[in-house]
Amino acid sequence: MKFLANDGISKSGQNALESNGFKVLTTTVAQEQLINFINEEQIAVLLVRSATTVRKDLIDSCPSIKIIGRGGVGMDNIDVDYARSMGKHVINTPASSSASVAELVFAHLFGAVRFLYDSNRNMPLEGDSGFNKLKKSYAKGQELRGKTLGIIGFGRIGREVAKIGLGVGMKVIASDKYVNESSVKVEFYNGQFIHVAIPSHSVESILKEADFITLHVPAQKEYVIGKKEMDMMKQGSAIINCSRGGVVDEVALIEALDSGKLAFACLDTFENEPTPAVQVLMHPKISLTPHIGAATLEAQDRIGEELAEQIISILKSNN
């Protein structure tokens, strides 16, 4: 049985599959050539990340496929319901990358409150000639301790973000359509832990109360944060989006940054991936990364291993 990991797979995941007798191809096939390749090689399991799309035409054209695996959380690049209606197994790895995404949120946040997104651009250009001017420009940073972190979307990743926020000393509040007030377990290096209750808020109260708002929601048809929502936010607050592109209105965001309503924004995902708007990329108040939330070595190992475990379980149960 042949597998195609079109967007790659960790060595540990590949080893787990191959040790069970499966052949894993890691060739990256262009989207327009994917159907022909799958049919020629009689691929039974297609593994993707965010780069490859699996739509109805591919599902209809590739009868050899039995399992479609998404290494990561969101599956908006796969026609999941249709694939399942055609008898295909569709799986993902919702738990594997949560910690990595949460740490990226705070990488952005720690950097943003001390203007690193801007100083890292300007120090190479002006550090030798305008050191004192830059020092003065970046002298009004903030501490995170004591600030309020609002989390919209309180699933696995939102909870991991909450744990770090609590560890930093922040007040953490959350809003989720499907989760009421809940408790998170904050674990420490030495095996000790505490349980902390996180109060459930409406999105409106999050917008009004939080100093920093971080989004952890699936892809949406409408903006979660648009102009109306930004108008409700505190003066000088900020938005972090390491979830999905299109949940923040980027035009309204730039207006809010230019007016001073928002102090900064942190974006790992964009409305127009893989070609984000130039206005966003060039804005001096936006901290930017190219959709790397789950891209740590540890997360990739966990993703590969979790995919392997699920696939082996499915195939064994079908025998």
Query: What single-letter amino acid sits at 309?
Result: E
Helix then strand then coil, % of the chain, to nearest 5: 40, 20, 40
Fold equal for 2-94+297-318 and 98-288:
yes
| Domain map (residue ranges) of the chain | 2-94+297-318, 98-288
Going 161 to 163 to 168 to 171, the CA torsion angle's sign is positive
Measured CA to CA, the distance from residue 59 to residue 243 in angstroms comes to 26
pLDDT of residue 199: 85
pLDDT of residue 73: 83
Q: Which of 41, 209, 255, 273 is catalytic?
A: 273
Measured CA to CA, the distance from residue 144 to residue 276 in angstroms comes to 29
The Cα-based distances of 212 to 6, 112, 150, 308 in angstroms read 37, 11, 6, 37
Q: Which of 70, 201, 291, 302 is catalytic?
A: 291
Measured CA to CA, the distance from residue 200 to residue 270 in angstroms comes to 27
110-129 b/e (C-beta count within 10 Å ≥ 16 → b): ebbbebbbbbeebeeeeeee
pLDDT of residue 319: 65
pLDDT tens per residue across all 319 residues of the chain: 999 999 999 999 999 999 999 999 999 999 999 999 999 999 999 999 988 999 999 999 999 999 999 998 889 899 999 999 999 999 999 889 999 999 999 999 999 999 999 999 999 999 999 999 999 999 999 999 999 999 999 999 999 999 999 999 999 999 998 888 789 999 999 999 999 999 899 999 999 999 999 999 988 899 999 999 999 999 999 999 999 999 999 999 999 999 999 999 999 999 999 899 999 999 999 999 999 999 999 999 999 999 999 999 999 887 6
* Active-site residue, 84 included: no
pLDDT of residue 317: 84
2-94+297-318 architecture in CATH?
3-Layer(aba) Sandwich (3.40)
Going 267 to 210 to 217 to 47, the CA torsion angle's sign is positive
* Active-site residue, 201 included: no
Q: Which of 244, 302, 305, 306 is catalytic?
A: 244
CATH of domain 98-288: 3.40.50.720
pLDDT of residue 40: 97
Q: Which pTM does this prediction carry?
A: 0.89
* Active-site residue, 114 included: no
